[in-house]
A and B are shown apart, each in its own frame.
Chain A
Amino acid sequence: MVLESARDKKNKRLPAISSFSLSDNDHGNLSVDWERKTTPEESIARFGASYKFGKKEYKPYENRAIYALDISFLNSLSDVEGVIYDPIFYSQPVKGRVNNPAHSLIRFNLALEENGINDPETLLKIRDHAAKQKVSYDLEKVHAMVDKLRNKVSEN
């Protein structure tokens, strides 16, 4: 799931290369959803029912898009250590945190990269691969799902 900023849209640079880059807060892992365990609408809805990083505000989700990445492609990249299924479940409902049975991680082998995270070759290859595989979704369905998820936690 990637951010589609107004500037990237204006310049026709979608998906933006930055979408596949890592922050120091990611600890070498890029979070993704496994398509076998989710629908595109559910993925976006979980995002919209989650709090922003370090804040108690819900994330805006209308400016997000989904692109597919083949696991075999990811495994062919020299600095991808592997793709790991890593579902998230909270023992108690937590506002702003949503269970994610599809959550997975693309784990980068940073030891192989002399330039640390965000190697330009890897970024370009992932972006070019993703650009061919945009996944469409029904925004109306997402709105309803987000409302339900946000309210579900509030009721608890």
Chain B
Amino acid sequence: MNRILAEPAISYHRSPVRSKDYIIIQNETSISQNLNWEKKTHGFFKEKNVTSFDDSKYRMEIAGEKFELYSNLKLIGDQIEDGAEILSRDENWDDDGALATDTETFLKAARFIVQYANHVHDKYHETLTAPYIDILRDGAVSVHWEAENNAQLLVVFKKKENELAYFFAEQGERKIPLKSAIVPNDPVDETLALWMKNYLNQKKETNYQIPTKYIEWY
């Protein structure tokens, strides 16, 4: 009996929560002054945006290339500038036969950092911690992030042209791994960006706490 299976139907449901259901809470004082707060929020609130979202940008030039970063990402820009020191290392920089790197390899790493940091800031309004750029002994450039909860990401940019940049990431006590590669200078890999947003973000200090008297209402 020949049977052709139909493709499974896919239905898409919009979330019942609409953007107007959210309120951005500026501080605790404004909540206490808002007597209709319970009715407005329907129990939802957007705690993560307590700190202001700064969308101003600044420019910097490294190794002859111009970069634009959100002002919140100044520490990341500083680390890229600091990392440019590896361009001054000659062949045999460790006295043991290590190879020098080149400007293009360093720029591949710098572009990656700027691209992903800006993307995470744009899309998720999160600020990544600053990575450490270093040179490996074969002249490759490494970009290493370390953050809380044992989270770390290492991306290696090879000196050869058209080489993939392999990365390894892990987080948590059980060091759950994520291992893959990206194509340098390609559009953002959303899986990696989301991982970075989740595990390499700067912890925000928030002065907001759910007022005790409202907890039962939830």
Contacts and interface: CB of A to CB of B under 8 A. Distances in A.
Interface of A: 3, 7-8, 11, 13, 16-18, 21-26, 52-55, 59-60, 115-121, 123-124
A111 B98 CA distance: 22
A53 B82 CA distance: 27
A21 B136 contact: yes
Interface string B128-154: 000010111110101010000000101
A115 B109 CA distance: 17
Nearest to B83: A7
Which 3 pairs across A and B sit closest by C-beta, in order of nearness?
A: A25-B97, A120-B168, A21-B136
B95 interface: yes
Given A13-B132, A121-B168, A22 B138 contact: yes
Given A7-B82, A23-B137, A24-B99, A54 B92 contact: yes
8 contacts: A17-B144, A18-B98, A21-B140, A23-B98, A24-B138, A26-B137, A120-B167, A123-B136
B97 A23 contact: yes
A5 B155 CA distance: 21
Contacts of A25: 97, 99
Contact of A23 (B132, B138, B170): B138
Contacts of A11: 82, 132
B43 interface: no
Residue in A17, A23, A54, A116 with the greatest tally of chain B CB atoms within 10 Å: A23
B186 interface: no
B192 to A, nearest CB: 13
Nearest to B179: A121
Given A23-B99, A26-B97, A17 B181 contact: no
Contact of B137 (A8, A18, A55, A119): A18
Given A22-B138, A120-B167, 15 more contacts: A7-B85, A11-B132, A13-B144, A17-B144, A18-B136, A23-B96, A24-B99, A26-B137, A53-B92, A53-B96, A115-B158, A117-B138, A118-B136, A120-B142, A124-B154
B138 A21 contact: yes
A120 B170 CA distance: 11
B68 interface: no
B167 A59 contact: no
Given A3-B94, A17-B144, A120 B134 contact: no
A18 B135 contact: yes
B166 A115 contact: yes
Interface residues of B, number: 31
A11 B135 CA distance: 14
A18 B137 CA distance: 6
Nearest to A54: B92
A8 B134 CA distance: 9
A124 B94 CA distance: 20
Contacts of B24: none
Contacts of B82: 7, 11
